[in-house]
Amino acid sequence: MSEAQLVQGNEACVKGALAAGCTFYGGYPITPSSEIAEHMVRRMPEVGGVFIQMEDEIASLAAVIGASLGGSKAMTATSGPGFSLMQEHIGFATMAEVPCVIVDVMRGGPSTGMPTSPSQADVMQARWGTHGDHSAIVLAPSSVGEVFDLTVRAFNLAERFRTPVILLYDEIIGHTRESVVLPASVTVVDRVRPNAESEDFWPKKAASNGVPEMADFGDGHRFHVTGLAHDTRGFPTNDSAVAEALISRLHDKIEAHTDEIVEVETFMMDDAEIAIFAYGIVGRSAAEAVERARADGIKAGLVRPLTLWPFPYAEVKEAAQQVDTIVVAEMNLGQLIGEVERAAGGKAEIVGHLRADGEPITPTALRDVLAKLDGGPA
Amino acid sequence: MTDVKTYLREWAMPHVLCPGCAHGIVLRSFLEAVDQLQLDQDKVAMVAGIGCSSRLIGYVDFCTLHGTHGRAPAFATGLKLARPDLDVVVITGDGDGLAIGGNHLIHAARRNIDITVLMLNNSIYGMTGGQVAPTTPEGAIASTTPMGNTEPNFDACKLLIGAGASFVARVFAANPIEMTKVMADGLTHPGFSFIEVVSDCPEYFGRYNKIGGGAEMLNWMAVRDEGVAGPLAEKRFVSHVPATVPAPALTTGVLQREIRAVYSGVRRAQDHES
């Protein structure tokens, strides 16, 4: 039976990674993510894993990819500036279909920005930071407990879909200590490996679930891995039909399985007339604001995506058909609000409550927004 | 000796290299070293970056990782730490290894991780069309130095010795027997081994600098091995030296060999406690 323990968000990430079977960590120091590395260096030896501090974030994700090809579950963690450097290898891992987990503990930007202040300004970087057409899986926890859960989920989705998965949370969640009861055991998903005796191994031919089986380097199947467009044997090609088939498959293996990926939590939405759309730490402020608004007689509700990408278009559309107004609250100058507008398709008024000054969006601020929109005193 | 074709993916041919390019000679010498040592074909992993030399790994029947530009040592580091049972070999070029990937190369050397790096130096960016590289001699013509290169060039071996590589050697593609011997030495060395293979690019470097095709470039290489003659000999591999000063002979063979602790990552409880 698990007991309540006081855990920091970044530490919960490490605990989740170990529960999911992570045995390799490669990273580079950066505020506000460094505690992940500092816990990993202690925990990896306990599970026979490897910790290495690399020379930069580019190398960190390269090492993670190398370890994953060797058969390890591997991860790295960083913040905005380092996340920018990792984009090259997020693209590589996407193209080469190498499972891995990247944690971005967001801080104020652009550039060096505000290293010790929270933000949610990397949402679009997580989706479109690397070049080329691709899909992305991005998860956004709101609490220390959810950091644990979604870290496990990030590894499971990475293994299921052979793709990099990004865990996106901000400085507040990373540094907050909360009392949590962590599960004694979790469901763990492993990549599907080919039969060791199989002579007929096609490293990039998809199985019925849209994802090719993945052999470990050194286990008898000799194969090629490349970031170039390639055929089902994994070998480079300039054949446009072959390239098109690859790019479409990489896209579809995620977009055709959103039911396995997308998670949205709703709160007091049953009779809501006004909804807040918020994620991460803002989701918690929003829940508090909704409760206070309800006490004032305002029919408010919350739509909180735990999956930012693929974006929950269907769930937001459903909410837009029900309510008059959706308040999109995010700690940036408006990144997911455009997706909410696209999903709503004019069915509800979309109002932004945006903040990019390194300060959190408070429950009081959101309660006031709800009161004002409801026609009451602001 | 086994036919080196055992180690080739003949189905992947024809290859992308130009006529006269010496990279194929280098690859054959490497495969002969692998064969001499009787390495387990299933346990050899080759990691490369971007460029002509890096494309070689597509044609060898090992586990092969064609990564991103300059980052091969970082991919190889993760792979070797996760799988110490593999013989991990990096093939990189001079632009890949010394320009965009210079940082990864020197840190892999500093750690003394047990991988072997073959850096094929053709003095130019071949795949992208003959642009100047950190190894292009002063005065030499490239597509981005049409009036002659005004930057000094790296001596890769000195750089790697300075970074702490425990095995450093230089060989010429014109001398395949020596190449195989030195590569076998590098493969068996415990720790980080770096081998600069002076190769060629007749298509760009040879043509732009009026040296000739593949055969002429191999001859040119052999001449430079003794440090005399050749159209660029007085500037070759010498930083900040006026053209009037005769070039020293370019040293070949094993330039550095020491045994020191091999890096294997923080992986065991006793490593952490100590």
ipTM of this predicted complex? 0.97
- Option in B64, B103, B265 nearest A52 (CB): B265
A58-67, A109-118, B101-110, B227-236: the lowest-pLDDT one: B227-236
C-alpha to C-alpha distance for A54 and A56, rounded to whole angstroms: 6
A218 and B271 in contact by Cβ < 8 A? Answer: no
pLDDT at A246 over 90: yes
Over its length of 274 residues, how does chain B's per-residue pLDDT go in tens digits?
A: 788 999 999 999 999 999 999 999 999 999 999 999 999 999 999 999 999 999 999 999 999 999 999 999 999 999 999 999 999 999 999 999 999 999 999 999 999 999 999 999 999 999 999 999 999 988 899 999 999 999 999 999 999 999 999 999 999 999 999 999 999 999 999 999 999 999 999 999 999 988 889 998 888 777 666 432 344 444 444 333 333 333 345 778 899 999 999 998 876 544 444 3
Distance from CA of B51 to the nearest CA of A (A): 12
Q: Looking at A8-22, A250-264, B197-211, which range is the least confident one?
A: B197-211
Q: Which residues does chain A have within 8 Å of residue B43's beta carbon, measured at their own beta carbons?
A: 218
Provide the pLDDT for residue B2: 82
Among candidate residues B144, B155, B122, the one with its CA nearest the CA of residue B252: B155
pLDDT band at A198 (very low <50, low <70, confident <90, very high): confident
Set of chain A residues whose Cβ sits within 8 Å of the Cβ of B41: 222
Tell me the two tokens of residue A70: 């060797």
Set of chain B residues whose Cβ sits within 8 Å of the Cβ of A25: none
Q: Do B66 and A224 touch (CB under 8 A)?
A: yes
Q: What is the DSSP string of A109-137?
A: -STT-EEEEE--TTHHHHHHSSSSS---E
pLDDT in tens, A81-95: 999 999 999 999 999
With CB atoms and an 8 Å threshold, state whether B82 touches A51. Answer: no
Per-residue pLDDT, B244: 36
B2–A contact, CB cutoff 8 A: no
Chain centroid to CA B50: how far? Answer: 13
Task: Report pLDDT for B270.
Answer: 45
What pLDDT does B225 receive? 61
Contact B78 A222 (CB under 8 A): no
Residues B68 and B50: beta-carbon distance below 8 Å: yes
In this structure, the strands spanning A274-277 and A325-330 are parallel
Of A63, A71, A225, the CB nearest to B74: A63
* A71 with B83: Cβ contact below 8 A: yes
Residue B59 contacts A, CB cutoff 8 Å? no
What's the confidence (pLDDT) of residue A156?
A: 98
- Give me B118's structure tokens: 């073959």
Neighbours of B185 (CB within 10 A): 18
Instruction: For the sheet with A325-330, list strands across it.
Output: A264-267, A300-305, A274-277, A325-330, A349-354
Q: Which residues of chain A neighbour B74 with C-beta distances below 8 Å?
A: 54-55, 58-60, 62-63, 66
Confidence of residue A199 (pLDDT cuts 50, 70, 90): confident
- Chain B hits for A49, Cβ within 8 Å: 267
What's residue B138's pLDDT? Answer: 87
